[in-house]
A and B are shown apart, each in its own frame.
Chain A
Amino acid sequence: MNELAITVIGRDRPGIVADVAEVLARLGANLTDSTMTRLRGHFAMTLICTGPAAAEVEAALASLAAEGQLLATVRAVTPDGDVPPVGEPYVMAVHGSDRMGIVAAMTRVLVDAGGNVTDLSTRLTGALYVVLAEVELPAGVADAVLDRLHRTAAELGVEVTLRPADPDLL
């Protein structure tokens, strides 16, 4: 079974998701995990599907990209299987004045502590820059990580909090 990683990026308009999904359905591709959002007005979709060969999907999606408003990429990937978590889940929130290198510096602190960022979003609204990261940290390092995050945040002139992710299940 082929597993494909597909990205579709470009100028937003109504109907892109339906168009992409229709192309995939017609080729017998089974859409598994996907995300779609608008990033500063740009359409951005990333998905994994299983089924047809990469070249076949690429050719079919090319028709969507023909007007030059969308860029679609397709590549075959090897199923990773389940990656065991490195530790405990936390949420890091960073906010402050926009400047270069906030995400780079703050996530570097997490990585250097053996952490793994599992989800991330950033927003720029007016002068306010917001970074939200979900991160798995090895057991017992959170306090030390928070100290280092505070030092790095102070150098950048931003605020940071690190809290355990809500473990509640309904």
Chain B
Amino acid sequence: MSGGERGPEVGLGDWTPESLDVPGEVRAVVSAPHPVLSRAADEVDPTAKETVQLAADLIATMKVSPGCVGLAAPQVGVGARVFAVDVTGHPKAVTVHGTFVLCNARVVEATRWKPGREGCMSVPDLTGDVKRASRLVVEGDLPGSGEPVRLVTDGFEARALQHEIDHCAGLLFLDRVAGAHAVYQRKVYL
């Protein structure tokens, strides 16, 4: 499938973290094994007050966590299909949408699968080799306005989105590693 057939992007428009209009609080991040990380999370009302607060909290928690490029609600103990992503400045990123939060996100197109090394704040001592689509189309709703978006992305941002969407489905990168020796003890902590 060529890039042109992936359909048009419906971008973030004028949505920014500031449009949430609530201060975010840093929440505690839970680690595996924790049941909330292995449950499929619930769909949310993106306009609900608690969803907006959760979105702000996810951004705040992501921002204070060194090296963190994405954080899903189950990682702060909330079984909701909400996550924040920001790969700005990451050397492996190509397309970058900045800091954003998606609710009820789902993958609608995934192509050009490539292996790569992933870590996770909820599995702090391990990394693993996981194959992910490097071309990705994701649909979801923006917190606050509830506006639907259709993000077309690639590379590292695509990987981060798939990792977070997996969290919302109750999956960790450990569930997708390539083989018996594709998990590594973490050597560098950011």
Contacts and interface: CB of A to CB of B under 8 A. Distances in A.
A134 interface: yes
A96 interface: yes
Contact of A93 (B124, B174, B185): B174
Nearest to A121: B180
A80 interface: no
Contact of B33 (A121, A128, A163): A128
The main secondary structure of chain B at its interface with chain A is mixed
A120 B180 contact: yes
Contacts of A125: 125-126, 185
Given A123-B185, A126-B125, A95 B174 contact: yes
Interface in A130-165: 130, 132-134, 158-159, 161, 163, 165
Interface residues of A, number: 24
A123 B175 contact: no
B53 interface: no
B84 to A, nearest CB: 24
Contacts of B176: 93, 161, 163
Nearest to A162: B175
B126 A132 contact: no
Interface in B154-177: 171-172, 174-177
Contacts of B125: 125-126, 128
13 contacts: A93-B174, A93-B175, A95-B172, A96-B38, A121-B181, A123-B183, A125-B185, A126-B31, A128-B125, A132-B177, A159-B38, A161-B171, A163-B176
Interface of A: 91, 93, 95-97, 119-121, 123, 125-130, 132-134, 158-159, 161, 163, 165-166
Interface of B: 31-33, 38, 123-126, 131, 171-172, 174-183, 185
Which 6 A-B pairs have CB atoms at the shortest separation, nearest pair first? A119-B180, A125-B125, A161-B175, A97-B33, A132-B180, A96-B33
